[in-house]
């Protein structure tokens, strides 16, 4: 099992809207690719004075599925995120294997 983790720190003034958009649009769009089996979104508990940090985890069966997602879908979905929240977030991605 592979976990594709996307950690995003969102500005305080848009974090509630961002979370609603993630739940109603972005996560369903990622899952609609058919390459992930499940997801989880978590709020990172740390200093929130300059933004709220979330970790969204997408679960897939293999690296092949993740590579297909990266090649065929990631750019479009990331560009949509950037267009909506430009200069309102910072993000990094981590790929992990469940042992």
Q: CB-hemisphere CA count at 13 Å for 3?
A: 14
pLDDT, residue 55, reads 98
Pairwise CA distance, residues 64 & 70, whole Å: 10
pLDDT digits (tens, 9 = 90+) for 6-30: 999 999 999 999 999 999 999 999 9
Mean pLDDT of 62-87: 96
Give the chain's mean pLDDT. 96
Q: Does domain 2-97 have CATH number 3.90.1150.10?
A: no
Extents of the domains making up the chain: 2-97
Instruction: Quote the crossing angle between the two packed helices 74-85 and 63-72, to the nearest 10°.
Output: 60
pTM equals 0.93
Mind listing the pLDDT tens digit for each residue in 37-54?
A: 999 999 999 878 889 999
């Amino acid at each position: 099992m592979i976990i594709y983790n996307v950690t995003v720190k969102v500005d305080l003034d848009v974090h509630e809207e961002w979370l609603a958009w993630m739940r109603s649009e972005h996560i369903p769009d990622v899952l609609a690719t058919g390459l992930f089996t499940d997801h989880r979104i978590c709020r990172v508990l740390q200093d929130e004075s300059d933004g709220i940090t979330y970790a969204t985890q997408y679960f897939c069966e293999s690296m092949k599925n993740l590579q297909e997602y990266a090649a065929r879908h990631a750019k479009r979905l990331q560009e949509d995120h950037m267009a909506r929240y430009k200069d309102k977030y910072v993000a990094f991605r981590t790929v992990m294997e469940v042992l």
